[in-house]
Amino acid sequence: MTSTRKNLVFAGLLVILNAVSAQMLTWDHYLFTSSPPVYPSPPTAGIGWETAFAQADAFVANLTLEEKVTLLTGVAQGPCIGNIAPIPRVDFYGLCLQDGPASIRQATYASVFPAGLTAAASWDKGLIYSRGLYLGAEFKAKGAHVALGPVAGPLGRSGYGGRGWEGFSPDPYLTGIAMEQTISAMQRSGVQATAKHFIGNEQETQRNPTISQNNDTIEAVSSNIDDRTMHELYMWPFANAVRAGVASVMCSYNRLNSSYSCQNSKALNGLLKEELGFQGYVMSDWGAVHAGVASVKAGLDMNMPGPIGFLVTEPSFWGSNLTASVNNGSLSEMRIDDMARRIMSPYFHLRQDMDYPPIDMESGNLNILGVQPYFDTFKFGRANVDVRQTHAQLIRELAAAGTVLLKNTNNALPLRAPKTIGVFGNDAGNPTNGLYTLSSGGDYEYGTLAIGGGSGTGRLSYVLTPLDALKIRAARDGSLVQFLLNNTLISDPAIAFQSIAPSPPEVCLVLLKTWAAEGADRTTLLADWNSTAVVESVASYCNNTVVITHTGGPNTMPWAKHPNVTAIVAAHFPGQESGNSLVDILYGDVNPSGKLPYTIAHEERDYAFADITNSTELQETEDPNAWQSDFKEGLLIDYRHFDYYNRSVLYEFGFGLSYTTFSMSNLIICNVYNNRNITARPPRTAIAPGGNPTLYDVLYRATAVVTNTGSLAGATVPQLYLSLPQVPGEAPTPLKVLRGFEKVSLQPGQSTMVSFDLMRRDISYWDASQQEWIIAPGAIGAQAGFSSRDIRLVTSFLPL
């Protein structure tokens, strides 16, 4: 079955040059101006949690219609970010929903974990699982039933996206595995996970409707995505999430083909419930509901926060409107029952009815303290419970594992007891404006950026800054640590360094940050606060300049090739142990093993293939339907774009240096499908969570041997990419896609065998006309290496 074809990449390229123009010509905007209706909403059968479903069924059978509607419609004036009011008559004490993906956001005495992006950069399944486990434990100990994370949308179509860092990676396979690990772990801790935002929420700009100058409602941006791209890119990680048994999926703010995501029957009834077999409940993003009965029929199960907009005083599209609609026959009570069962099944499955911790009393103070009758029916416990336990150890380890060494010349790193260290940049020291970076980046000039802003942020109980951690570590060697934290001063080399002596320091560390938050996209990929001038100024003065970035996505690095910039470290958003995890890498106490979960291109315009939809004209439009985001690039985002168009990049997807070296040998691919013949179409079976279960049958196993050829212990990430055949008449298939990775830790000279299971979905493409995953005829190329462009071994196999 196995043969070698080293010329595979080039063979693929020939097909493409014809396909490129075809792809552009076939985009017909009209096809994306409506969504196909998919009704009725498929009822759940409780597949995967049958016992809990039976409990939910009995529970719901005992409720009045008004009580059922209470389960579905949030009440804004409760102790948590989202609140389902208690029904004490049946011993149900409500549901407490809390932000967010990296921390129980508002809570006191809670941990701020590394961002999803940082977790992805570790490529370490075990650490990602531990992060989920501890996150879940903190939500539960604070009495939150539902955690509003993890994030697979935005996936990261545009590097400018304000929320890219909340999720994992623009690669759906890497994100899918991170979703699965995180969700399994969080739910094992007993808290319900929420996979969000479904779907196409790839920009913040105009994510919600606005009011124009003439008081017209200008609708939210419409993400127009073809069916194949939907399946192979944006929906892929949500399939993993559903397969992992996620309790809830949050629908998004944006429109899809001009229809709002939270009332889009094709997306919710069709893709999510019918095709992926989702058994839990669809929850709206806050204020993303724009209709009553129509959203219910389209598949939405829970309305958050409940009232229209965010104000308690506002009415709801749901609530008594749903009761009235059932009573006058315009909505079936069976659908209401299904919604209630979907909400209660995960509650019973995770045994949240049994001794669940009460809500931390402080949570109420952090929200709007209630005057509503139901407020006191929530179960409150002590205030300010410390839920952090020993999670700081994992936070430090994971942030170091997610720190990517991009450049290292002249043996700049690891540091070897330098006599003098200069620390430069406003990202090095303590935040002068507090530890809760919720709103705009402009508010946070001074202080290290450990996590981004918006609902994905966290209230830091402390942050160990890079400067403090360096001082502590440097004291062991008696090194002098001098610093300048004022970027305006540093930008002017004529005056900046007058206070430094001896001068220049042996090593100059420059700390840069890049603000990113919900609600606004980035307007540049450069790091903030005059970063280019800061680096150039320091590098003009110091021939051993090490640049460290704290970032929420890709940065352009115009200074990367500067001869005095000897090392570059992308530390992402590390969470509360920022300084410790950085110092572990800088001093080599931890050998760097992080790999980029995205591409760093040379220039901003290299990313223009998937720009944020925006312009002055759009900002001033009076056309309600003007905001249209055509995903014309299809499957070709991030490395798939740069590979397909043969574009050189600064640092490619999957890249990251180590202080040791590794080799790889013996790539072998075996058919492990029990001697059964592989068919192009998946065998027909009953749908289970995740979709057709046979899509996850392991058909092939790839193995390779990895050896540490250097003199230091270290970890690396062997990566397997597949080149699937081009399909005549279809949009281009990416030249290669990630389909396996494993983090391995090796002593000097040690070897290990890694194996990558290839499932049916991994070697199929989505055929939109057949509405099926199909294995295309032709050989599949397999490439194994240490990044998407550091391919060490090539082979191919022929499945059909």
Ligand X SMILES: *[C@@H]1O[C@H](CO)[C@@H](O)[C@H](O)[C@H]1NC(C)=O
CB of residue 297 to ligand X, shortest distance in Å: 13
E strands, 495-638, where?
507-513, 545-550, 565-570, 628-630
Taking residue 31's Cβ as centre, other Cβ atoms within 10 Å add up to: 11
Q: How far apart are CA 388 and CA 70, in angstroms?
A: 33
Token duo for residue 628:
């249209």
Which string of x and - marks every residue 576-615 that binds ligand X (by CB under 6 A)?
------------------------------------x-xx
Q: Is the peptide bond preceding residue 357 cis, with omega within 30 degrees of 0?
A: no
Active-site annotation holder among 99, 171, 285, 697: 285
Q: Give the number of residues in contact with ligand X, rule: CB under 6 A.
A: 56
What are the φ and ψ backbone dihedral angles of 465, each rounded to 5 degrees?
A: -80, 160
What are the φ and ψ backbone dihedral angles of 656, each rounded to 5 degrees?
A: 180, 135
- The window from 29-37, 370-378, 460-468, 787-795 that contacts ligand X (CB under 6 A) reads 29-37
Q: How far apart are CA 157 and CA 162, in angstroms?
A: 11
**Residue from 313, 677, 684, 728 in contact with ligand X (CB under 6 A):** 677
365 binds ligand X, rule: CB under 6 A: no
Residue type at 651 in one-letter notation:
Y
Q: How far apart are CA 643 and CA 635, in angstroms?
A: 12
389 binds ligand X, rule: CB under 6 A: no
CB of residue 373 to ligand X, shortest distance in Å: 17
Smaller CB separation from ligand X, 125 or 562: 562
Which of positions 491-530 make contact with ligand X (CB under 6 A)? 491, 504, 521, 523, 530
CB of residue 140 to ligand X, shortest distance in Å: 24
CB 376 within 8 A of CB 86: no
**Residue from 365, 372, 540, 703 in contact with ligand X (CB under 6 A):** 540
- The window from 28-36, 363-371, 451-459, 634-642 that contacts ligand X (CB under 6 A) reads 28-36
Mapping DSSP to helix (H, G, I), strand (E, B) and coil, where does residue 223 land? Answer: strand
CB of residue 516 to ligand X, shortest distance in Å: 11
CB of residue 35 to ligand X, shortest distance in Å: 3
440 binds ligand X, rule: CB under 6 A: no
CB 653 within 8 A of CB 248: no
Taking residue 349's Cβ as centre, other Cβ atoms within 10 Å add up to: 23
Smaller CB separation from ligand X, 390 or 616: 616
Smaller CB separation from ligand X, 646 or 665: 646
Classify residue 519 by its DSSP letter. Answer: T
Longest CA–CA separation in the chain, Å:
83
List the Cα angle 152/338/51 in 5-degree steps: 85
**Residue from 533, 680, 705, 712 in contact with ligand X (CB under 6 A):** 533
Smaller CB separation from ligand X, 706 or 763: 763
**Residue from 256, 423, 507, 570 in contact with ligand X (CB under 6 A):** 256
433 binds ligand X, rule: CB under 6 A: no
Classify residue 634 by its DSSP letter. Answer: T
563 binds ligand X, rule: CB under 6 A: yes
Smaller CB separation from ligand X, 274 or 703: 274
b/e sequence 115-130, b meaning 16+ C-beta within 10 Å:
bbbbbbbbbbeebbbb
Burial class (CB in 10 A: 0-12, 13-18, 19+), 435: middle
Smaller CB separation from ligand X, 365 or 540: 540
Smaller CB separation from ligand X, 61 or 753: 61
CB of residue 284 to ligand X, shortest distance in Å: 15
CB of residue 266 to ligand X, shortest distance in Å: 4
- The window from 264-272, 633-641, 711-719, 727-735 that contacts ligand X (CB under 6 A) reads 264-272
Q: How far apart are CA 407 and CA 546, in angstroms?
A: 9
Which of positions 302-361 make contact with ligand X (CB under 6 A)? 315-317, 319-321, 324-325, 328, 330
Run of H or E including 12: helix 8-25
Smaller CB separation from ligand X, 436 or 446: 446
425 binds ligand X, rule: CB under 6 A: no
Q: How far apart are CA 553 and CA 559, in angstroms?
A: 18
Q: How far apart are CA 250 and CA 262, in angstroms?
A: 9
**Residue from 58, 311, 334, 383 in contact with ligand X (CB under 6 A):** 58
| Strands 737-741 and 719-723, bridge-based pairing | antiparallel
Helices and strands per DSSP (H, E), number in the chain: 21, 30
32 binds ligand X, rule: CB under 6 A: yes
Mapping DSSP to helix (H, G, I), strand (E, B) and coil, where does residue 387 land? Answer: coil
Smaller CB separation from ligand X, 412 or 698: 412
Which string of x and - marks every residue 455-494 that binds ligand X (by CB under 6 A)?
-------------------------------xxxx-x---
CB of residue 541 to ligand X, shortest distance in Å: 6
Which of positions 643-662 make contact with ligand X (CB under 6 A)? 646, 648
- The window from 189-197, 383-391, 448-456, 533-541 that contacts ligand X (CB under 6 A) reads 533-541
Cα torsion at 102, 108, 109, 112 (round to 10°)?
20
- The window from 116-124, 351-359, 535-543, 661-669 that contacts ligand X (CB under 6 A) reads 535-543
CB of residue 61 to ligand X, shortest distance in Å: 6
CB 715 within 8 A of CB 678: no
Q: How far apart are CA 59 and CA 200, in angstroms?
A: 35
**Residue from 106, 189, 201, 257 in contact with ligand X (CB under 6 A):** 257
769 binds ligand X, rule: CB under 6 A: no
- The window from 346-354, 383-391, 537-545, 718-726 that contacts ligand X (CB under 6 A) reads 537-545
- The window from 56-64, 184-192, 412-420, 741-749 that contacts ligand X (CB under 6 A) reads 56-64
Can you spell out the DSSP letters for 671-704? Answer: E-STTPPPPSSPPP---BTTBSGGGG-EEEEEEE
Smaller CB separation from ligand X, 170 or 319: 319
CB of residue 448 to ligand X, shortest distance in Å: 16
CB 263 within 8 A of CB 298: yes
Smaller CB separation from ligand X, 55 or 549: 55
Which of positions 224-253 make contact with ligand X (CB under 6 A)? 226-227
Burial class (CB in 10 A: 0-12, 13-18, 19+), 3: exposed
CB of residue 17 to ligand X, shortest distance in Å: 9
| Exposure of 508 in the CB half-sphere (CA atoms within 13 A) | 29
Q: Is 171 a catalytic residue?
A: no
**Residue from 77, 130, 169, 205 in contact with ligand X (CB under 6 A):** 205
**Residue from 619, 671, 707, 745 in contact with ligand X (CB under 6 A):** 619
Smaller CB separation from ligand X, 598 or 642: 642
Token duo for residue 354:
């049994």
Name 183's Cβ contacts closer than 8 Å, sequence gap at least 6: 132, 150, 193, 195, 241, 244, 245, 246
13 binds ligand X, rule: CB under 6 A: yes
List the Cα angle 294/298/304 in 5-degree steps: 75
Residues in contact with ligand X by CB under 6 A are: 10, 13, 31-32, 35-36, 58-59, 62, 89-90, 205, 214-215, 226-227, 256-257, 264, 266-267, 292, 315-317, 319-321, 324-325, 328, 330, 486-489, 491, 504, 521, 523, 530, 533, 539-540, 543, 563-564, 612, 614-616, 619, 646, 648, 676-677
Q: Which residues are catalytic?
A: 285
